[in-house]
Amino acid sequence: MKYKVLLPQPIEEEARRILEENDLEIIQAKDPKPETVAPLMKDAHAIVLRTGIQITRDLLGRAEQLLTISRTGGGVDNVDLEAATEKGVIVTSSLGANTSSVIEHALALILALSKQLFLMDREVRKGNFGIRYKNLPRDLQGRTLGVLGFGRIGSGLAQICHRSFQMKILANDDYLPEDVKSSYRSWAIFTSKEELFRQADIVTIHIPLTEETRGMVNASLLSLMKPDAFLVNTSRGGVIQEKDLIEALQKKALAGAGLDVFEHEPLEPDNPLLQMDNVILTPHSAALTKECVVRMAVAGAERVVALLNRRIPDHIANPEVLNQEKWKKYFKLQ
C-alpha cells in the first residue's frame, strides 16, 4: 500500500522531495479552504500542515485513514487537539526550527521601537531632517526587558539582550521546571506577571496560545506598564485582549507596540492598529525567512516519513495518544 500525504497548501521543494523520495503519494489541494480540503481527507494517511486552514473536528471526521498531522510551524493551535487525540491521530510540530528566526524578528521590533526607526524614516521622507534634534530614540543599554514565556525563544532573546546590551532581565513562566529556572537565575529574575509588566521598559511575549493563555494580557496587566514602555508580541495574537491593547495605546498608557500576530488574521481594514503611528505591524512573518520556511517544512516532512516507517516522531503535541492500543502495536511499545 502506498501512503498518501495531503498538502492543504504547497510546501517548499526540499520538503516535497523528501516525501517523493520515500515513495509517498502527494495529494495537493488547489487551495486551503475547508470545502476544498474536506473531500481530500478521506484517503489521507498524513497531513503536512501550514497555517492556512484550521483542522477542525468536522474535518477530522472526514478522515478514514489519517495517522498524523505534521505542522510546519512551532504551534499547533490550528488543529483541534482534543478531536485528533480522540481519533488516534498523532499531531506534531516543528518546535525549535523557527527559534533563531523569531528571536531575530523580536529583536528587530525591539530595536525599531527603541530607536523610533519608522517614525524617523517617515519624517525624513517628508523633509523633516530636524526630527534628529528631538532625541526620541532610546538606548537598550541597561534597561529592563520583561520576558513573558521563557522557553527556547524567550530565553534566547533574553540572553542576547543581557549579553549584548547589559539589559536587566525579568522573566515569568509558570510551566518552566524549577531546575531549568535555576540555571538562568545568575542573570534572570523570575517574578510575577504583575511585577514584570510594572517594572519592564520593554515587555516581549513568547507564550503559546492555549485555553489558559487566551486573553492573558488584558487591561489589568497593561495598566501596570510604564507610559514610556513598549510591548512586543511574536507569539500568538490571541494571548492579548486586542481591544484592551488598542485602548491602552490610544490613551498612551504605553509608548508603543511591535506586533507580528493578531487576534484575527489578516487584520480587518477598520482595525485601529492600522492607523497608529506608534505601532509597528508585520504580517505574522517572524518565522517566514527564506531559511526558516525550508527548515520547518523539511522537519515536517521528515516527521511524516519517520512515523510511516514506524519510528516515533519528534515533538508530539498530544503524547497521550501513544497510550492507545493501536500505537502501542504500531511502534511495538508493548
CA angle, 300 then 306 then 310, to 5° = 145
265 is known as an active-site residue: yes
Q: Is the separation of the CB atoms in 72 and 299 below 8 Å?
A: yes
138 is known as an active-site residue: no
| pTM of the predicted structure, to 2 decimals | 0.91
Residue-wise pLDDT for 113-132, tens only, equals 999 999 999 999 999 999 99
Q: Is the separation of the CB atoms in 27 and 5 below 8 Å?
A: yes
The CATH code of the domain at 4-97+290-330 is 3.40.50.720
From the list 138, 152, 214, 284, the catalytic residue is 284
pLDDT number for residue 22: 98
**Numbered ranges of CATH 3.40.50.720 in the chain:** 4-97+290-330, 99-281
Query: 200 pLDDT exceeds 80?
Result: yes
Query: 334 pLDDT exceeds 90?
Result: no
Percent of the chain with pLDDT over 90: 99
**For the residues 172-196, what does the mean pLDDT come to?**
98
Question: Counting every residue, how long is the chain?
Answer: 334
The C-alpha cell at 246 is 488598542
Q: Is the separation of the CB atoms in 4 and 45 below 8 Å?
A: yes
The CATH code of the domain at 99-281 is 3.40.50.720
303 is known as an active-site residue: no
Interhelix angle 99-114/290-308, nearest 10 degrees: 150
pLDDT number for residue 303: 99
The C-alpha cell at 80 is 483541534
Per residue in 40-57, is it b (16+ CB within 10 Å) or e — as a string?
A: bbeebbbbbbbbebebee
DSSP 202-220: EEEE-----TTTTT-B-HH
Q: Please name the amino acid found at residue 260.
A: D
Q: What is the DSSP letter of 294?
A: H
From the list 82, 265, 291, 325, the catalytic residue is 265
Average confidence score pLDDT of the chain: 98
From the list 16, 50, 71, 236, the catalytic residue is 236
pLDDT number for residue 234: 99
pLDDT number for residue 1: 82
